[in-house]
Chains A and B, each alone.
Chain A
Amino acid sequence: MSSPDPLLRIAQFALAFRTEAGLSTVLDGVDLEVARGEILGLVGESGCGKSTLVRAILGLMPQGARVLGGRIEFGGQNLLDLDEAILSRDIRAGRIGFIPQDPFQSFNPLFRVGSQMLEIMRWHAPPEIGRSRSAHRARLLELMERVRIPAPDAALKRFPHEFSGGQLQRLMITAAIACKPDLVLADEPTSALDVTTQQQILALLEELAREMNTAVILVTHDLGLVAQYCDRVSVMYAGQTVESFPHERMLEGVRHPYTRMLLDCHPDRAGALKGILGIVPGIARMPPGCRFGPRCPALLPICGTRRPEPEMLEAGHSVQCWAVSGSVVSKVPADV
C-alpha cells in the first residue's frame, strides 16, 4: 500500500447513481493501490461494486452516474479530470487493457477477429510497435503464438463463432495486451469457462503480465484463484473496500469478519458450508454505520451508527472495522 509511486491510486472515490429514490451511493470511499507489475485480486460477492469500480477506472460510467468525490490517479494524472476524448484516445485499450467476463459477447460476431484486433492497434498502438499495419499484424501473430492459438495466420481471418470459449478468451488477452498497457483490468475473465481452461488462461495472463511488467487487477469471487495468482488482495463489500492485505496474510492474517467469512465459504475449508447469512444490501437501502453490520457476527453498538475509518495495521495491510481497530476496542473476538 505504501509504495512510494504506485501505478494506480484510488483515494476516497465515491460514485452515485440516480435512482427512483434519488441519488444512491454505489461506491463510497474506495481506496485502492496497484504498483507497477503487481497482480491485485479484487474480491467480494456479486453486487459489491467490483465491476462498477473497474468500469469507473476506464471512465465507462452509466448515464446518470455522478462522481461525488475522490481521485483515480493513474501514472500521476487524475483520470476523473480527463476529457472523454483523451480517455478514449490515450488511456482505454492503450495504457489500460480490459478483459471482459464473457468472451462470446465481447467480439463483434459480424467481423473477423483479425480486423477487430487490428482496429484496436490502429488507434492505440504505442510508437515503439510502429505505425504500419504489417507491424501491428506481426505483433498480433507473435502474441497469438504465445497464447497458443493454433495457426495464428489463419485464425486472424476467422469469425468469433469459429472459436471455443477458451480460445476467444485467449484472443481477448491478446487484444488487451497488444498495445503494451501498463495495467490490465480482468473482470471475472474465467467465470464462463471450464476449470481446466480457467487455469490455462490465468497462467498465461500471469506469465505475460510478469514478463511485460504489466499490472493486473483480477476481479473474481473465487478466493482459490486469488491465492494462486495474486500478490495482493482487496476485499470489497457494498461499495467500500473493507480490507487490503498482501498475499502472505491470506490464510492466517486476515482480520475483517467479512474476509474471514468469505474464506470460510470456500469448499476447501473443512466443515465449510456455513455461508454468510443475509445478502449484500441494494444500493438504495444501505444501512447506516458499517455496511456489513447487519450480517456481522462481531457487531458492536458503535457499528450501527458510525462508519469505521480505514486503519493501517502494518505495512500493506489495512482494514475498516470497529471490532479490529485497537483504538476503540482492544479485544478482537477470537472466533469470528
Chain B
Amino acid sequence: MSDVILEARNLTTILGGKAGFLQRARPQTRAVDDVTLQLHRGETLGLVGESGCGKTTLGRTLLGLLRETSGEIHLEGQRVDGLAPKAARRVRRAIQYLHQDAVGALDPWWSIGRTLGEARQLSGVAGDEAVIDRMLGAVGLDLAAKTHYPHQLSGGQLRRVALARIMLLAPKIVVLDEPTAGLDLSIQAAVLRLLQDVKTSFQLTNLFISHDMSVVRLMCDRVSVMYRGRIVESGLSQDIFAAQRHPYTRALVAATPRLSTRVPAVALDGDPPGLGQDIPGCAFHPRCAFAVDICRTQKPELEQAETGSNVACHRWRELAPANDDGGKQNGHVSGAAPAYQTAR
C-alpha cells in the first residue's frame, strides 16, 4: 500500500539486562516481540491489551525514546531505525506522544503559558504568542489558562493543555497513550470528541493505545491486539468487533462493561503473566480455554485470515469466530458459545 506513513517490520525491543549503579541486572524481557505493523495516513489505529503487554513500550520504541533491539522502522518511506535515542528523536519529530498522565507530564512550577511557550520555541516555527492563542482555542481552552498553573486546572483541562503542547510541535503522527485513563465518563466523552476534532483539523494519523474496548470501538479504524509483546490479532475495527478470531480478543471484548446487558461477562481466568517468566509455545495458552498440545510447544505465527485481518492462533480455523452483536441480541451465532462453554 502506498499510503503507509509509518511501518514497523519485525520490531523487537528487549528491556533490562543491564546492571545499573548499585543495581542488579534485571532479567531480560522481550517487551516488544517481532511486531510488524503499518499505520496508514489519516487513520486511527487502536493498540489494545492488558497492562504489561508491551503497548506503551511499542509506542515509545516507534517514537525513538527507546532503542529497538532489532527490526526496521520506516517513516514516510525512509528508514529511521538503528539510531541512538537523541538522533532518533530528531529524525522522528513528526511523531509526538500524548502522555497517559497529563498531570505528571506538565511542570508544576511552570505556568501553562510558559510550558506552551517552550513548545513553540522547540518547534522552531516562526510565530509569536498568537500561535499559542490559536492552539489554546483549538483545544477548547480559555486564553486565561495561560496564567494558570497545572494544579489550578482539572484533569480534563490538563489533557487539553498536554494536547496543545504537542500540537505546537506540528506532528503528523500522534501516539495517544491511554488518553482517557482515570477520567470520569462525562469528561472522557469531551476529551474523545476533542481528539477527533483535532485529528480532523490537523490531518493527523493516530496510534491509540488503550485497554478500554468500548472507547477503541468508538475511536479506531483498525485495531491490533497485543499479548505479551506480540500482536495476536489485527484487523478493521468493525470486523474485529463483529467477530473475534483470537480467544484473547474475544475475552477482552467480553470483559468490557456494557450498558445493555445484565449477563456478567465470561471472566478471563488468571492474571496477565509476569514479564520475567518465559512461556513456551503460545504465550496465551495458560489462560486459554481452547489450548491443546501444540499451543504449549509451538509459537503461532501471525497469519492472514482474510484481506486486512491477521490472527496468531493455532486453532483459529476450527474455532468459529465469536460474534459480538453489541449486546443487543441474545445468544451467539454459529455455535461458538456452546463450544466455549464445553471447553471450560
Contacts and interface: CB of A to CB of B under 8 A. Distances in A.
B211 A267 contact: no
Contacts of A279: 154, 156
Contact of B186 (A203, A267, A275): A275
Contacts of B263: 228
Given A164-B271, A221-B184, A196 B255 contact: yes
Contacts of B156: 279
B259 A229 contact: no
Given A167-B271, A199-B267, A269 B259 contact: yes
Contacts of B218: 267, 272-273
Given A263-B259, A268-B258, A166 B271 contact: yes
Contact of A221 (B185, B190, B265, B327): B185
Interface string A211-231: 000000000011111011100
B257 interface: yes
Given A194-B272, A251-B260, A266 B193 contact: no
B262 A228 contact: yes
B188 A265 contact: yes
A197 interface: yes
Interface in B158-207: 182, 184-190, 192-193, 196
Nearest to A273: B193
B50 interface: yes
Contacts of B192: 267, 273
A229 to B, nearest CB: 7
Contact of B265 (A199, A222, A272, A274): A199
B251 interface: yes
B215 interface: yes
A227 B260 contact: yes
A336 B85 CA distance: 52
A265 B173 CA distance: 27
Given A267-B215, A273-B196, A222 B185 contact: yes
B258 A196 contact: no
A58 B211 CA distance: 33
Contact of B211 (A195, A202, A227, A251): A195
Given A194-B51, A274-B189, A224 B259 contact: yes
Given A191-B182, A196-B252, A227-B257, A273 B264 contact: no
Interface centre among B185, B196, B274 (most CB of A within 10 A): B185
A214 to B, nearest CB: 17
B243 interface: no
B297 interface: no
Contact of B267 (A46, A196, A263): A196
A303 B262 CA distance: 35
Nearest to B184: A45
B334 interface: no
B5 interface: no
A200 B184 CA distance: 22
A276 interface: yes
Interface in B35-50: 50
B304 interface: no
Interface centre among A167, A197, A247 (most CB of B within 10 A): A197
B214 interface: yes
A261 interface: yes
A208 to B, nearest CB: 14
B255 A195 contact: yes
Contacts of A247: 262
Interface centre among A166, A200, A247 (most CB of B within 10 A): A200
A227 B263 CA distance: 9
Contacts of B182: 191
What is the predominant secondary structure among interface residues of chain B facing chain A?
loop
B261 A227 contact: yes
Interface centre among A164, A198, A263, A275 (most CB of B within 10 A): A275
A206 interface: yes
A299 interface: no
Contacts of B190: 273, 275
Contacts of A265: 185-186, 188-189
Contacts of B211: 194-195
Interface in B265-303: 265, 267-269, 271-272, 274
Contacts of B272: 164, 194, 196
Interface in B206-254: 211-215, 217-218, 251-252
Contacts of A225: 257
B256 interface: yes
Nearest to A190: B257
Nearest to A193: B51
B265 A224 contact: no
Interface string B32-73: 000000000000000000110000000000000000000000
B46 to A, nearest CB: 13
A298 interface: no
Contacts of A263: 259
Contact of B258 (A200, A206, A228, A273): A228
Contacts of A266: 185, 214, 259
Given A266-B259, A268-B258, A224 B214 contact: yes
B319 to A, nearest CB: 19
A46 B156 CA distance: 12
Nearest to B50: A194
Interface string A122-151: 000000000000000000000000001000
Nearest to A202: B264
B165 to A, nearest CB: 22
Contacts of B189: 265, 267, 272-276
A247 B274 CA distance: 38
Nearest 3 Cβ contacts at the A-B interface: A224-B257, A275-B190, A267-B214
18 contacts: A164-B271, A191-B182, A194-B51, A198-B257, A199-B265, A202-B264, A222-B185, A222-B257, A224-B256, A224-B259, A225-B257, A227-B257, A227-B261, A250-B259, A265-B188, A266-B185, A267-B214, A268-B260
Given A228-B261, A268-B259, 11 more contacts: A199-B257, A200-B267, A206-B264, A228-B263, A228-B265, A261-B186, A266-B185, A267-B192, A269-B259, A273-B190, A273-B218
